[in-house]
Structure 1
């Protein structure tokens, strides 16, 4: 559910683009939509995740530049910058701190062997790098409309597929851990 809520501003961006056919207007609506999403999250949970904050800042800065200069290139770079910053953060967590970010985020919910946490972290790094590169490929080799469609459906779809694949991978290790703890 959280993943779908996180994609809400993108869905609004998509709807406005489809209605107006104007990426600048869609971007101008994206900025307050993302801000409202963050305010709603804060009111509901009294916290904002660092990744959400980074996304908000990039939407404001790159979206603002898009509107100010009437140049879609800025907003088209945003998904790549976000994904590559996430990849960098996940990579950095292997060298800063005792555990990779993915382990810190998920270890209260599941118990996994250390090598599995490492492989999971590297999978996320690869996913973020690939998504950033794929965004650039679509943005700069295909039509604007194709990129807008990819931004909502392609990125969401690929993220869901990756999360499902991650779940399948983890399920092999979870059932092993549960069996060993019940014996």
Structure 2
């Protein structure tokens, strides 16, 4: 639970800064929080996951462009680019390298047949592509303000993620076997 809160910290700080300031202050805060996360993980000798590095890279590039050019378009593209990269990594990892990254991340917690892992991998890839498209709609359709986009970015995508994860677990429940940690040896 601590890790989940730690991972969401830059997002929460972005939202708070957007509410008390503007998109440019929020962008500065998000960049600072992402850098501070990496520094903290380094100082505490914790593992820094590839997704954390990727997120830092994307926020620095798109956030930096937003601040430098004084154009919020770039920061609004950031979630879509990140989600699409996640989706493409899952797709191409499986298609080109026969590597299932979802299975790699979760195989110590769950045992499932290969077909279930493949379905899970592709469904997450599709989910990320769809959420990226939703972000573009909210950001650029003209139906929503920047403040509303920020709320969607923080709460809407998080709620969608939770709903999808719960749906995944219910749908794949017939395949899953959770290892019994009480039986050692």
Deviating more after overlay: 71-80 vs 5-14: 5-14
**What is residue 3 of structure 1 aligned with on the other side?**
4
Structure 1: gaps of 5 or more residues: 179-183
**What is residue 67 of structure 1 aligned with on the other side?**
67
**What is residue 147 of structure 1 aligned with on the other side?**
149
Structure 2: gaps of 5 or more residues: 181-185
Whole-angstrom CA distance in 2 between matches of 1:42 and 1:174: 35
CA offset at residue 115 of structure 1? 0.6
CA 1:94–1:153 in 2, change beyond 3 Å: closer, same or farther?
same
Q: Does 2:17 align with 1:36?
A: no
CA 1:165–1:4 in 2, change beyond 3 Å: closer, same or farther?
farther
Q: Does 2:147 align with 1:173?
A: no
SS for the counterpart of 1:115 is: helix
TM norm structure 2: 0.89
**What is residue 93 of structure 1 aligned with on the other side?**
93
**What root-mean-square deviation, in Å, do the aligned CA atoms of Structure 1 and Structure 2 show?**
1.8
CA 1:40–1:117 in 2, change beyond 3 Å: closer, same or farther?
same
CA offset at residue 5 of structure 1? 2.3
**What is residue 106 of structure 1 aligned with on the other side?**
106
**What is residue 161 of structure 2 aligned with on the other side?**
159
TM norm structure 1: 0.90
Deviating more after overlay: 41-50 vs 73-82: 41-50
